[in-house]
Homo-oligomer: A and B are copies of this chain.
Amino acid sequence: MNDQKDKEKMRILAKDILVKGPQEEVEVKGWVHRIRELGGITFVILRDRSGIIQLVLEGPPDFTVETVIRAVGEAAKNEKAPGGLEVKVREWECISKPIGDLPYQVNGDPSKTGLEALLDHRALSLRNPKIRAIFKVQAVIIEAFADFFRSQDFTEIKTSKLVGSGTEGGTELFEVDYFNRKVYLAQSPQLYKQTLVASGLERVFEIAPAYRAEKHDTPRHLNEYVSMDIEIGFIESEKDLIDLEKGMLTHIFEEIARKNKAELEMYQASVPDPEAVYKSPTIPYEEAVKIASAEAAKSGGGRIFDINPEAERYLCVWSLREHGSDVTFVNEFPRRHRPFYTYPLDAARTMSFDALFRGLEITTGGRRQHDYQALLEALPKFGLKPEHLEGYLSVFKYGCPPHGGFAVGCERLTQKILGLSNVKEASLFPRDRKRVEP
C-alpha cells in the first residue's frame, strides 16, 4: 500500500511541471495528444486533466494517439516546447491502447465534427480541450451559484423528482411507471421549494435535473436540464428577486473570470463586468414589447406582439446599446402569460420577471400567491379545480409568509457565457426527442 502511494505521489501534472520548472526526474501520466517523428526522435504532446506537456523520446513510438501512457524523465527547458519546458523521457510504458481507429480526430478543431457525432462519442469528444472547457466553466457556475446563496443564508435542499401530478397542469410531463401506478418527472421543484419556505427554512436552493416533455427541437431546448432554483420568504415583490439575481450573476461572472481564464480564451469569450450587471435595466412587459417592436422595425424584422425568442434578442441588442449591459430584466408579465400561483400586481399584471442574457431567457421567476383564499379564488380563472390541487393548496393553509423565487437554466447560462450555438453543447449527456444515448 505504501509503495503504491509513493509511486502515485511521484506523478506530476503537466501544468505543475510548467510551474515548478526544470527537475531531474518527473513521472507523467496521460493521453497521447499528438505524435511527431523527426530524424529518429519522437515528439509527443501528452494531455492530462491539467493541460499538456511535450515529451521527447529516442526512437519510434510503440503507441498511437489517445494511448494512455506513463513516462519518466528529466523536465528541461526548451523554448520551442509549449510552455517552454519538455520531458526528456528515459522510460515509458503503455497503460491502455486504443482498439481500432478513432471515429474522428480528437486533437483537431471540434467544429469540423458534427454535433451529433460529438455527442455519440462523449468519452472521445470531451478529450478535446476546447470541448472539455465547457464543463470546467459549468462546474464553476454550479459552485458559485451555491456559494452565493449560502452566503445569503439559504439552505441547500434535495427534493423528489417523482411527482403525483404536475403543478403547471398535465401537459409536457414524462410519465413514469411506479409500482404499477403513474407518476411524473418533475418539471421544477416549484411546490417543494414553496413548501420549504412555508416550513420555516425561509430561504432554500436546489441544483437538480428538471424535465420537460416538449417536442421542440431548437438550439435553446433540452428535455432534461439542470435547474438552479431558489425560493425566499418575506419579500415584497419581484424586484427583491431581481436584486438577488444581480448579486448571484455578479458572483458567478467574477468566479468564472478568476478561475476560467484559459477556458474563456479558447472561446474568445468574456463575462460581463459587475458594474454592467448592476446597472442592467428592468423593463415592464408592455414597454419591453414596444422596445422590441421598435428594434424589429429598425432592422426590418416582423412585428412583435409578445416577448417571444425573437423579441428577447431585440431587447438584448437594445439593452447592450443603451445600457451597456448583457443582462436585461423584463417584469410585470400579464396574468395570462404566467401560472395561477403568480402574485398579481393588479388585475392585468403580475409580480413576475424573466432575465435575458445575450439574447436568451435564462431565468423565470416571481413572487407567488401565499394567501390560501386568494389562491382558491384564482383557480377558476385558469380553468383549474381545487380538488386537483389539494397537495399544493395545503402548503398555504397553516401560515405562509409572502415569498417568491426563480430558476436559472444552467446549460443556457453556460451556453451564453461561451457563445455556443446550441444549448446541447452545454450538456454532458443531452436528451432530446431522438437522443437517449449515451
The interface of chain A, by Cβ under 8 A from chain B, is 1, 4-5, 7-8, 11, 29-32, 47-49, 66-68, 95-100, 102, 121-127, 132, 135-136, 138-139, 142-143, 146, 150, 153, 155-164, 174-179, 181, 183, 185, 191-192, 195-196, 198-203, 207-209, 213, 215, 224, 226, 233-237, 239-240, 243, 370-373, 391, 394-402, 410, 428-431, 433, 436-438
Q: Which of chain B's residues have a CB closer than 8 A to the CB of A97?
A: 399
Contact B397 A98 (CB under 8 A): yes
Whether A196 pairs with B234 at a CB distance below 8 angstroms is no
How far does the Cβ of A408 sit from chain B's closest Cβ, in whole Å?
A: 13
Quick one: which of B1, B49, B240, B398 contacts A153, CB cutoff 8 A?
B49
Do residues B4 and A236 form an inter-chain contact, with CB atoms below 8 A? yes
CB-CB under 8 A from A243, the residues of chain B are: 5
| B400-A68 in contact (CB<8A) | yes
Nearest B residue to A124, CB-CB: B398
Query: Can you list 8 contacts pairing A with B, beta carbon distance less than 8 Å?
Result: A4-B239, A49-B203, A96-B371, A102-B398, A123-B394, A124-B199, A126-B200, A142-B156
Q: What residue of chain B has the Cβ atom nearest to residue A437's Cβ?
A: B164
Contact B11 A234 (CB under 8 A): yes
Q: A401 → chain B, closest Cβ, in Å?
A: 5
A15 to B395, CA, bound (A): 26
- Residues on B with C-beta less than 8 A from A8 are 234-236, 240
CB distance from A217 to the nearest CB of B (A): 11
Contacts of A209 in B (CB 8 A): 158, 160-161, 208-209
Task: Say yes or no: A192 contacts B429, CB within 8 Å.
Answer: yes
Cα of A70 to Cα of B96 in the assembled complex, Å? 66
Set of chain B residues within 8 Å of A126, measured between Cβ atoms: 196, 199-201
Q: Are A31 and B179 in contact (CB under 8 A)?
A: no
Whether B200 contacts A161 by the Cβ 8 Å rule is: no
Distance of A212 from chain B, by nearest CB (Å): 12
Residues of B within 8 A of A146 (CB): 143, 146
Report the minimal beta-carbon distance from A232 to chain B, rounded to whole angstroms.
10
